[in-house]
Amino acid sequence: MKYAFITGANKSIGFETARQLLQQGYYVYLGSRSLENGRQAVAQLHAEGLTQVEPVQLDVTDAASVAAARQAIGQKGTGLDVLINNAGVSGALPQTAAATDVATFKEVYDTNVFGVVQTTQAFLDLLRASAEPRIVNVTSGLGSLTLHTDPSWKYYPVKTAAYGSSKAALNMYTIVLAYELRDTPFKVNAVDPGYTATDFNHHSGPGTVPDAAARVVKAAVLAPDGPTGQFFSDDNAPETGISAW
Ligand SMILES: NC(=O)c1ccc[n+]([C@@H]2O[C@H](COP(=O)([O-])OP(=O)(O)OC[C@H]3O[C@@H](n4cnc5c(N)ncnc54)[C@H](OP(=O)(O)O)[C@@H]3O)[C@@H](O)[C@H]2O)c1
């Protein structure tokens, strides 16, 4: 059996990612900032007959919480095969480059960048023991330099100084980590789930949560000959050369 840990999995895309991995036979450690919300999410999955799942408290911005989650999962003795850095925040919108205050940048980077870095670094040793370790960083097309310099891209006008740049930083972190792990069995990729109707955007997105989660799951279950160090988005224009899923 393979073991996966998903951050921010109590609802929305993270929760559905947990459900789909469970349906594929994975055991899931369901990360939740609120343990109570995590318990409720797990109870819902149990009610659906998906029982190989348990909640793990995790606030990615809190180093003590990350260390405690690492210790708790380590003590299970199961190892870890998949880490999905899904937890993310947008910060208050709109976010112009000219006027968005530094406090907003810090708040967004705390979760979307520093949270991913400290969670990934904490779990890297456990993942190294897996035969087929996978790290999926849930990013956004709004963090793509390529897409955001293409005036024909459908979301070209959707510029978000703090959120977009945080996901751009996450994309580069993904590339650097994948490079460092290039001679190992690791696959480290950044996946844009697509503009999806969730609490994140007051359910304004056109995409569905199952479709979004399926994109994330695809990178979590990659075969040994699969890609690493890539950015995947289906919200691309074909001429960008960005890989579609
Ligand atoms: N929805 C979209 O259109 C879209 C598009 C592109 C990319 N994404 C990315 O997809 C990911 C999931 O988005 P979503 O739409 O599912 O968002 P969502 O509905 O707002 O859910 C976000 C999840 O992240 C958790 N979270 C936030 N801050 C956290 C922290 N400090 N520590 C741990 N967990 C934290 C939330 O926990 P609480 O319940 O405790 O708040 C929640 O479980 C994000 O990384 C987002 O940037 C979303």
Q: Which atom of ligand 1 is nearest to the CA of 11?
A: 43
Count: domains in the chain:
1
Q: What confidence score (pLDDT) does residue 220 get?
A: 98
**Strand partners of residue 29:** 5, 54
For residue 89, how far is its CA from the centre of ligand 1 (angstroms)?
6
Q: Which atom of ligand 1 is nearest to the CA of 139?
A: 7
Task: Please give all residues whose beta carbon lies within 6 A of any atom in ligand 1, as ranges.
Answer: 7-8, 10-14, 33-34, 37, 58-61, 86-89, 111, 115, 138, 140, 192-193, 195-196, 198-201, 205
* pLDDT higher than threshold 80 for residue 239: no
Average pLDDT of the segment spanning 224-239: 84
Candidate list 27, 163, 173, 195, residue with the active-site label: 163
Long-range CB pairs of 177-180 (<8 Å, 24+ gap) are 177/120, 177/135, 178/228, 178/229, 178/230, 179/229
| pTM over the 0.75 mark | yes
Q: Which atom of ligand 1 is nearest to the CA of 65?
A: 32
| 146 CB-contact burial (10 Å; exposed 0-12 / middle 13-18 / buried 19+) | middle
Please say if 179 is a catalytic residue: no
What is the C-alpha to C-alpha distance for residues 112 and 138, in angstroms, rounded to an integer? 9
Cβ atoms within 10 Å of 110's Cβ, excluding its own? 16
- Percentage of residues in the chain with pLDDT exceeding 90? 95
Q: What confidence score (pLDDT) does residue 237 get?
A: 55
Candidate list 2, 26, 29, 167, residue with the active-site label: 167
Q: What confidence score (pLDDT) does residue 218 get?
A: 96
* pLDDT higher than threshold 80 for residue 243: no
What does the mean pLDDT of the chain come to?
96
Quick: pLDDT tens for 107-118: 999 999 999 999
Label residue 235 by pLDDT band (50, 70, 90): confident
Q: Ligand 1 pocket check: which of 13, 106, 192 to mutate, most ligand atoms within 8 Å of Cβ?
A: 13
For residue 9, how far is its CA from the centre of ligand 1 (angstroms)?
8
* pLDDT higher than threshold 90 for residue 241: no
Give me 61's structure tokens. 């911005």
Average pLDDT of the segment spanning 146-173: 96
Please say if 167 is a catalytic residue: yes
Is 42 a member of any domain? yes
Is 245 a member of any domain? no
Cβ atoms within 10 Å of 40's Cβ, excluding its own? 14
The residue whose C-alpha atom lies closest to atom 18 belonging to ligand 1 is 200
Q: What confidence score (pLDDT) does residue 244 get?
A: 67
Q: What confidence score (pLDDT) does residue 60 get?
A: 98
* pLDDT higher than threshold 60 for residue 238: no
- CATH number of the domain at 210, please: 3.40.50.720
Is 32 a member of any domain? yes
Label residue 67 by pLDDT band (50, 70, 90): very high
Range of the domain at 52: 3-240
